[in-house]
């Protein structure tokens, strides 16, 4: 099987919203033209070994307009068919129109959008009117058959409203993906809002309990992913794998970065698609070497940690932020990762020990009488869901 390769396309860093903790929006940002998109395609034609997921990110990617996607999606699908392209988008949906929805639906583009909880709480963090604008776009997306999931950013303030937020997602039947408000290398905007690592750990344990309590009735994607990490003993989301070399982001001018979080900072450009750089030359760039240094650093710094195989020191970008872009530590959210991984492994060990040997299959009994569902039940639920989704 070919390795997965992830290309994030950032058509602009502009965005019509003004979220209080945003670090990426830049009103003066240019927009990617079709010429640059064609250069992206030509660059990737020379990279033949991988399966590629393209995620349109921002800023706000819908600012690129219907015409951009009407050309870009068939171009990528046709010219890069050997890479088996799949698509995704991260958008606030404000600019969703029936025309854009039609083309995204034709290419099966799932969308992740952002809502931080009930309207009042969301608009306090993301600006007045945000909630209604996103819900309007959501309705159009759903009418056109698009799959939309919600990302909820938890901040230092909304952490204290976690029960209200979880209830909102549960009562609306929305799948919840949690995102902590994080500090940035680009600016200090997020600082007053960032989630404390200890609070993040506590939040994850709370969400684990919530997920088990409402098993089958509410999906919390982070909890599913964290349990899969432990169960299969390797990371299943970018934070917990060595993302370097398998993820790239392309900015509006064709600049190549290690991830969307670096886009717009010239000192982190690895190359430009117009020059058709090889993967080796990208890995040899200054930032390519910095990302590799992180892997080596983690191998030393986390050597004694029981979770190193499926944590991998967390996110290299997060790790660089407190040190002005240098590698001098692992991801500061280590405290949170260790807390939730300890919790999951501890519970899993107890569940395994409690299972009678003759009951042990790949997925032992989900629930014994009088017992609450545990990690094994959650994994079994996930496996059954995957089986049902298989063609
Ligand atoms: S730098 Fe962080 S956010 Fe970016 S791909 Fe790597 S782990 Fe993910
Ligand atoms: S939990 Fe902390 S110490 Fe353990 S691998 Fe992750 S970052 Fe390293």
Give residue 338 CA to ligand 2 midpoint distance, Å. Answer: 6
Q: Which protein residue has the closest C-alpha to ligand 2 atom 1? A: 338
Alpha-carbon distance values, 21 to 15, 64, 180, 300, 361 (Å): 13, 23, 11, 33, 47
Ligand nearest to the CA of 336: 2
Question: Edge-to-edge strand order for the sheet containing 148-154?
Answer: 176-180, 148-154, 111-114, 86-90, 51-56, 4-9, 247-250, 255-257, 271-272
Give residue 242 CA to ligand 1 midpoint distance, Å. Answer: 9
356 band by pLDDT with thresholds 50, 70 and 90: low
307 CB near ligand 2 (under 6 Å): yes
CA-308 nearest atom, ligand 2? 5
Helices (H), 33-186: 34-45, 65-79, 98-106, 119-126, 130-143, 162-171
Query: What pLDDT score does 188 carry?
Result: 82
266 band by pLDDT with thresholds 50, 70 and 90: very high
Ligand nearest to the CA of 300: 2
The torsion of the CA quartet 124, 126, 131, 137, rounded to 10 degrees, works out to 180
Give me the percent of the chain exceeding a pLDDT of 90.
82
Q: Which protein residue has the closest C-alpha to ligand 2 atom 7? A: 313
CA-260 nearest atom, ligand 1? 4
316 CB near ligand 1 (under 6 Å): yes
Q: Which protein residue has the closest C-alpha to ligand 2 atom 3? A: 302
Give residue 360 CA to ligand 2 midpoint distance, Å. Answer: 30
Query: What pLDDT score does 388 carry?
Result: 76
Question: Is the pTM here over 0.85, yes or no?
Answer: yes
pLDDT at 3 over 70: no
Ligand nearest to the CA of 262: 1
Radius of gyration of the chain (CA): 21
- pLDDT of 121-153, one tens digit each? 999 999 999 999 999 999 999 999 999 999 999
Query: What pLDDT score does 386 carry?
Result: 77
Query: What pLDDT score does 247 carry?
Result: 94
């Amino acid at each position: 099987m070919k390795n997965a390769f992830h290309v994030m396309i950032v058509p602009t860093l502009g965005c019509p919203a003004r979220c209080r903790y945003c670090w990426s929006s830049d009103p003066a940002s240019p927009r990617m033209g079709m010429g640059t998109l064609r250069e992206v395609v030509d660059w990737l034609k020379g990279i033949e070994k991988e399966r590629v997921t393209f995620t349109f990110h921002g800023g706000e990617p819908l600012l690129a307009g219907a015409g951009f996607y009407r050309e870009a999606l068939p171009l990528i699908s046709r010219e890069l068919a050997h890479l088996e392209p799949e698509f995704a988008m991260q958008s606030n949906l404000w600019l969703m129109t029936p025309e854009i929805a039609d083309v995204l639906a034709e290419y099966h583009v799932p969308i992740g959008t952002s809502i931080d909880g009930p309207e009042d709480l969301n608009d306090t963090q993301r600006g007045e009117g945000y909630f209604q604008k996103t819900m309007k776009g959501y309705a159009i997306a759903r009418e056109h058959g698009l799959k939309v999931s919600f990302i909820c950013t938890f901040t230092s303030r909304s952490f204290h409203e976690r029960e209200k937020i979880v209830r909102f997602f549960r009562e609306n039947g929305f799948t919840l993906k949690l995102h902590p408000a994080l500090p940035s290398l680009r600016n200090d905007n997020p600082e007053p809002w960032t989630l404390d690592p200890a609070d993040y750990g506590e939040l994850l344990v709370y969400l684990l309990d919530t997920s088990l309590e409402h098993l089958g009735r509410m999906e919390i994607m982070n909890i599913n992913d964290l349990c899969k990490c432990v169960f299969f003993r390797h990371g299943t989301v970018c934070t917990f794998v060595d993302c370097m070399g398998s993820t790239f982001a392309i900015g509006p001018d064709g600049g190549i970065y290690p991830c969307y979080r670096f886009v717009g900072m010239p000192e982190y450009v690895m190359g430009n698609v117009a020059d058709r750089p090889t993967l080796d030359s990208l890995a040899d760039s200054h930032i390519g070497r910095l990302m590799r240094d992180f892997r080596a650093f983690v191998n030393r710094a986390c050597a004694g940690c029981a979770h190193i195989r499926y944590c991998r020191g967390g996110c290299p970008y997060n790790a660089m932020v407190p040190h002005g872009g240098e590698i001098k530590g692992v991801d500061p959210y280590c405290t949170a990762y260790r807390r939730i991984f300890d919790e999951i492994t501890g519970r899993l060990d107890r569940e395994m020990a409690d299972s009678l040997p003759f009951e042990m299959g790949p997925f032992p009994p989900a629930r014994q009488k009088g017992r609450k569902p545990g990690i094994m039940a959650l994994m079994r639920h996930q496996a059954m869901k995957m089986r049902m989704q298989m063609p």
